[in-house]
Structure 1
Amino acid sequence: MSETELQDWLYETSLHSELQQLGLITTLLELDNVAQEATLAEVTFDWQRLLFAASILAHSKKRLHREASLRIATGAMLLPTSDAVRDAAAVLFDKLSNRRSVVLAEQRGRLKPDLETRLGVALRLEDQRKQLENSILLEATGERLPVNEFQLEFWRAAGHERAWLSASAPTASGKTFLVLK
């Protein structure tokens, strides 16, 4: 089985019902005045299995796979889980070029500070590599700016000598922020 076939199988078959439940439960967390069904309160997740599958999906180029990985990381961070599960979710956020979610989780007390000190050597190196890969160097200040995948591609395209550049992306993807930088 190829990596792509494994990712398709995980998304379409193995994780299908859990992804639906995670989506429903995390959405309900954001809505006020909505009564949660008693059956949803009884739902439990095998976080070790889900996080392992999410780490495989995070390497996919398919948007649906990466969104599923993000949904798992979000659920692991927002639902009542252990510190180790939240640490793994933070690593997933970094793999998905979503450093802002890690910072936000720390600010909201969902993630203990200094994640790097709790990671093993190999994971710490991988985390540092991903942070460098997912950042751009602002030559004017020497600052490294963490960016998402869209912003990184946009920045690289803008760096080439071009008469003009056009970009289209969803709201809140960081277009204006990047142009201002």
Structure 2
Amino acid sequence: MKQQPGAFGRNVLPAAVPVLAAPTAPSGPVPAAIPAQVPAPAPGPPGTAFRTFPGTPAHVSTARRYVTQVLADPSYRHVIDDAVLLVSELASNAILHTRSGDPLGGFTVELGFPAGTVRIAVHDQGSREIPRVLHGNGEGGRGLGLVEVLAADWGITGGPAGRTVWFELTLRP
């Protein structure tokens, strides 16, 4: 795991992948339940897509569908299942363990396409807890363990005011 993400600024969206959001704003209207203080990620470079969701368990499935739509091109078929599973885990973690799950909270899912990879990040509203991989036989706490096993690379940035957990999946030639 790296503590800092790589340079997102060099991402290039393959021509066959639909861009569902302009790089400067989330796609579609932001639901009224998400107040202005929800930290959106800094606008990504061309070739990124991101969307903000209300911080409710019902919107985890909406985030999964969003990732499925962005990765609809057949060139992503071998990473889509892992991408959807990991986004589900990270979005659930954001809702359960950060202020993203507060009544007016939210989280943002961002997809980028550095050469040969898909990079996905989930931005939350932060908490005092520090995300960590749990080992042992306890219940729960396996989301970051899945990320560690399935992702080619991953990391956590930010702090109590808002964190980003990101991962990369390697594309096949």
TM-score (norm 2): 0.29
Task: Indicate the structure with greater helix content.
Answer: 1
Q: Whose RCO is larger (CA < 8 A, sep 6+)? A: 2
Larger radius of gyration: 1
State the TM-score, normalizing by the size of structure 1. Answer: 0.28
More strand by share: 2
